[in-house]
Amino acid sequence: MSIEVRGVCTLLQVFDMPASVCFYRDVLGFEVVSTSPRDGDQFDWGVLRLGDAELMLNTAYEQSDRPAGPDAGRAAAHADTTLYFGCPDVDAAYRHLKSHGIDVKPPTVAPYGMKQLYVNDPDGYVLCFQWPAA
């Protein structure tokens, strides 16, 4: 017998919460559904939702300990993390991202038959919007 699971939610450590919220909410369309105490878009932890996808964001540093800029080594390691989103219209996602000024390359079809569109979030995490190619 297996454990009953009804979903999974990734937690990403982010450097600049307002920048991350702006990207996930204002560009991708996620809704902020729950947060720690907040002042506008500044909070330490939050849950965002878009359709059936949920994502948690947490500040990498307490406000009093936050350095002036992101740690380059830490940010570089984020390239090892990719979130794959089921996206039935990858071409529409590409046009949407371009219309929001996001630097993104056109979708491609992977050798295993998935049409994929890759983009980085403000912290360097990789997002892939994909769907089986027709």
Predicted local confidence at residue 129, as pLDDT: 97
Predicted local confidence at residue 73, as pLDDT: 87
3-class SS letters over the chain: CCCCCCCCCEEEEECCHHHHHHHHHHHCCCEEEEECCCECCECCEEEEEECCEEEEEEECCCHHHCCCCCCHHHHHHHHHCEEEEECCCHHHHHHHHHHCCCCCCCCEECCCCEEEEEEECCCCCEEEEEEECC
Taking only the tens place, the pLDDT of each residue in 26-47 is 999 999 999 999 999 999 999 9
Task: Point out the residues of the chain with pLDDT beneath 70.
Answer: none
Hey, where are the domains in the chain?
Answer: 10-132
Q: What's the topology of domain 10-132?
A: 2,3-Dihydroxybiphenyl 1,2-Dioxygenase; domain 1 (3.10.180)
